[in-house]
A = this chain, B = another copy of it.
Amino acid sequence: MSGVGARYFEDFKPGDRVESGRLTVSDALITEFGRFYDAQVFHTDPEAAKTTVYGGLIASGLQTIAITFKLFLETGTVAACSLGSPGLDEIRWKTPVRPGDTLHVVAEVLETRPSASKPDRGIVRMLFTTVNQHGDAVMTLIGNQLCRRRPG
């Protein structure tokens, strides 16, 4: 699925992989999200975070999910076909995300399945691995993407 041009359901095959661009996570990005959505000191206060088990500021795991889809969306992989998603499975946080970390995402197609009820679409099940600048997986999750079939 890593070619050019609009991709539809038929263009996704198990084993296909796409890699996103990079995002460097700043203190401000972490604390801005943390203060509203996940107000625990290790997400909101760089000084107080030093006294916690994490030894410093880390990104909310919920923010890591959001960054993962930002980076994937920006690849344009599902720009032509996306009809949204019924849900996500098996989100696993593996390594804390710290200020200065540079993240990218690798998405791999696990399975494709035509919709049983709607002939114009199918589901593409993908494993997303979010990786830091050291090559460590910081998070994995499985996404279920509703994709249009190629028109005509």
Cβ of A38 within 8 Å of any chain B Cβ, yes or no, is yes
Does A38 lie within 8 Å of B70, measured CB to CB? yes
CA–CA, A60 and B85, complex, Å? 11
Count of A residues near B, CB < 8 Å?
Answer: 29
| Nearest CB in chain B: distance from A124 CB, A | 16
| Nearest CB in chain B: distance from A81 CB, A | 13
CA–CA, A82 and B54, complex, Å? 13
Chain A at the B interface: SS class? mixed
Q: Which of B53, B63, B88 contacts A91 (CB 8 A)?
A: B88
Number of copies: 2
Cβ of A73 within 8 Å of any chain B Cβ, yes or no, is yes
Closest B residue to A42 using CB positions: B84
Cβ of A113 within 8 Å of any chain B Cβ, yes or no, is no
Q: Which of B39, B69, B90 contacts A73 (CB 8 A)?
A: B39
Cβ of A65 within 8 Å of any chain B Cβ, yes or no, is yes
